[in-house]
Amino acid sequence: MDRLKVYILGATGLVGQRYVQLLARHPWFEIAGMAASERSAGKTLLQAGWILEEPPPPEIAEMGIEKLDVDRVPRVDFIFSALPSEVAARVEPQLAARGHTVLSNASNMRLDPDVPLVVPEINPEDLKLLERQRAERGWSGGVVKKPNCTTTILNLSLKPILDEWGIERIHVVTMQALSGAGYRGVPSVAIIDNAIPYIKGEEEKVVLETRRVLKADFEIYVTTTRVPVLDGHLEAVYVDTKKDFDVSAVVSALSRFKGLPQELKLPSAPERPIEVRSEIDRPQPRLDRWAGRGMAVVVGRVRKLAPRKLAFVVLGHNTVRGAAGNSILAAELMVKMK
């Protein structure tokens, strides 16, 4: 098939650059253009400040960045948005009203009942909310969201446990990477030789978005922290299950877990969305964040602390599975589901 055209908003940011990296060689999608703020307008990605591992291919590296203007965004099949939430809140509804389909990372509208908040392996059926969104808002386009990065990683690891044993409550402590705060996020002098036990708004997002994605109302207690790691959020998770479990059965359920993206063999779908490691000191961000090309989460230290009390650690790449990669997978699903 001809490759579908996509446009990236916020292409110079940390999530935007991941979009560029993942889309530059995508088998179905072709980057038709990109936009950012006035600061980057007229520059190339390299001039604006490329910071990822490998540079983009020349045809993308030399593409000019446009200043975002909703009336000048070209007709494309999908728009991927990596804009700050306050900008997205203004721009994304205007684009949807003009007939564009926007897949967005920003936190605005994530809890609106007519907006799909999708992790493709968990709740692909929620993409159908787009029909309601169009009808209720009178839009010819639409907005699809993904949960925040910490929530996406956590929810993938919880889904097989919820399905098999039920969940009464969870306690979570996160150790979140610097890239989760964006390019101008945490000042280096604040984080080198340090850890910060608070991330504004993050704990509330984990609670509300987990309930929405998993369609469950178990108790959620969470502390989110920032640590001096570049990429990869690590989360220590304690789960009180409804039914008792064997550790070996939990490991097996996590390892066997698959969803619609795997069934449909979508290009960005990892073969196994959850990889389980048996070494006592894994997962680790530097060693494990690229599991499944950054699209798998890695679970380790699976332990039974007492009857119905499970503990484990989960790691995921926050700008791939936690952001750009998850939205690209959702777009692939939309192509297949027409």
Ligand X SMILES: NC(=O)c1ccc[n+]([C@@H]2O[C@H](COP(=O)([O-])OP(=O)(O)OC[C@H]3O[C@@H](n4cnc5c(N)ncnc54)[C@H](OP(=O)(O)O)[C@@H]3O)[C@@H](O)[C@H]2O)c1
Please state, in angstroms and rounded to a whole number, the distance separating the CA atoms of residues 330 and 268: 9
Please state, in angstroms and rounded to a whole number, the distance separating the CA atoms of residues 21 and 287: 20
Cis, peptide link before residue 283, omega less than 30° from 0: yes
DSSP string, 241-282: ESS---HHHHHHHHHH---HHHHTT-TT--S-SEEE--STT-
CB-nearer residue toward ligand X: 186 or 253 = 186
Q: Is 10 in the site for ligand X (CB under 6 A)?
A: yes
**Shortest distance, CB of residue 188 to ligand X, whole angstroms?**
15
Residue among 222, 90, 256, 91 at smallest CA distance from 148? 222
Q: Is 229 in the site for ligand X (CB under 6 A)?
A: no
Tokens 């060689």 found at = 25
Q: Is 318 in the site for ligand X (CB under 6 A)?
A: yes
Strands (E), 132-166: 142-145
Residues 136-155: x where in contact with ligand X by CB under 6 A, - otherwise, as a string: ------------xx------
Residues 96-135: x where in contact with ligand X by CB under 6 A, - otherwise, as a string: ---------xxx----------------------------
Q: Is 82 in the site for ligand X (CB under 6 A)?
A: yes
User: At how many degrees (to 10) do helices 85-97 and 129-137 cross?
Assistant: 80
CB-nearer residue toward ligand X: 175 or 253 = 175
Range 267-286, binding ligand X (CB under 6 A): none
DSSP string, 96-130: HHTT-EEEE-SSTTTT-TTS-B--TTT-GGGGGHH
Tokens 């097989």 found at = 160
The residue range among 22-30, 114-122, 212-220, 318-326 that interacts with ligand X, by the rule CB under 6 A, is 318-326
What are the C-alpha distances in Å from 52 to residues 13, 19, 67, 233?
Answer: 10, 11, 22, 17
- In degrees and rounded to multiples of 5, residue 42 shows phi and psi of 85, -10
Work out which of 75, 169, 183, 271 binds ligand X, going by CB under 6 A: 183
Active site residues: 149, 233
**Shortest distance, CB of residue 202 to ligand X, whole angstroms?**
10
Q: Is 12 in the site for ligand X (CB under 6 A)?
A: yes
The residue range among 116-124, 179-187, 205-213, 234-242 that interacts with ligand X, by the rule CB under 6 A, is 179-187
Other CB atoms within 10 Å distance of the CB of residue 219: 11
CB-nearer residue toward ligand X: 195 or 247 = 195
Work out which of 6, 7, 13, 96 binds ligand X, going by CB under 6 A: 13
For ligand X, the binding residues (CB under 6 A) are 10-16, 36-37, 39-40, 68, 82-85, 87, 105-107, 148-149, 179-180, 182-184, 318-319, 322-323
